[in-house]
């Protein structure tokens, strides 16, 4: 019987792997949080074989890696808004488990429309502009086209004749 490495969290076995010819065993442990420090002793390991199981030994402290952004999507891809009115654009960062989901928005022509840090677009003047969203992690971008419509001034009602 080959040696089996067991990984424990408290009394629960959270991962196992057989030791290979090179004397090493690689274990995947589910449920770890990304970009997180784990203290010495949070996890323990033991080796078991036909002779029984060794005493548990504390795993040294470690930090998990961050989950990198792979892309971003802006929605809707096209929108229209009147001068002095607002519309909201939303962004979705991929993967949903990314560690840093921070984004920023920019307008290609702030004389036509401005955009706030949360994706709210305000129409400034008649025309068309591109609104881009960019991730802080990985500098991924996506773009939407926004058309700003002029608001037609209505003629005041004439005074009725007396």
d(CA 162, CA 160) in angstroms, rounded, equals: 6
Rounded to the nearest angstrom, the gap between the alpha carbon of residue 2 and the centroid of all alpha carbons in its chain is 42
> Which domain range does residue 103 map to?
71-149
Question: Same domain for 127 and 86?
Answer: yes
Question: Same domain for 76 and 19?
Answer: no
Q: What is the pLDDT of residues 38-95, one digit of tens each?
A: 999 999 999 999 999 999 999 999 999 999 999 999 999 999 999 999 999 999 999 9
Is residue 157 included in any domain, yes or no? Answer: no
Q: Would you say 105 and 119 are in contact if contact means Cβ atoms under 8 Å apart?
A: yes
Q: What is the pLDDT of residues 99-150, one digit of tens each?
A: 999 999 999 999 999 999 999 999 999 999 999 999 999 999 999 999 999 9
**What's the domain count of the chain?**
2
Is residue 162 included in any domain, yes or no? Answer: no
State the distance between the two ends of the chain, measured CA to CA, in whole angstroms. Answer: 109
This prediction's pTM: 0.70
Is residue 76 included in any domain, yes or no? Answer: yes
Is residue 42 included in any domain, yes or no? Answer: yes
Question: Same domain for 55 and 110?
Answer: no
What CATH code is carried by the domain that includes residue 86?
2.60.40.1080
Is residue 14 included in any domain, yes or no? Answer: yes
């Amino acid at each position: 019987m080959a040696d089996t490495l067991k990984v424990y969290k408290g009394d629960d076995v959270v991962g196992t792997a057989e030791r290979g010819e090179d004397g090493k065993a690689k274990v995947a442990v589910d449920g770890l949080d990304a970009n997180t420090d784990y203290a010495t002793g949070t996890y323990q390991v033991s080796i078991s074989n036909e002779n029984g199981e060794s005493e548990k030994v504390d795993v040294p402290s470690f930090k998990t890696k961050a989950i990198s952004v792979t892309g971003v999507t802006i929605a809707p891809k096209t929108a229209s808004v009147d001068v002095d009115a607002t519309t909201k654009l939303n962004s979705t960062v991929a993967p949903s488990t990314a560690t840093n989901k921070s984004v920023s928005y920019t307008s290609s022509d702030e004389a036509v429309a401005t955009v706030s840090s949360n994706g709210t677009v305000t129409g400034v003047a008649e025309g068309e502009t591109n609104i881009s969203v960019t991730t802080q992690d990985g500098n991924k971008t996506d773009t939407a086209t926004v058309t700003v419509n002029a608001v037609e001034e209505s003629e005041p009602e004439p005074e009725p004749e007396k």
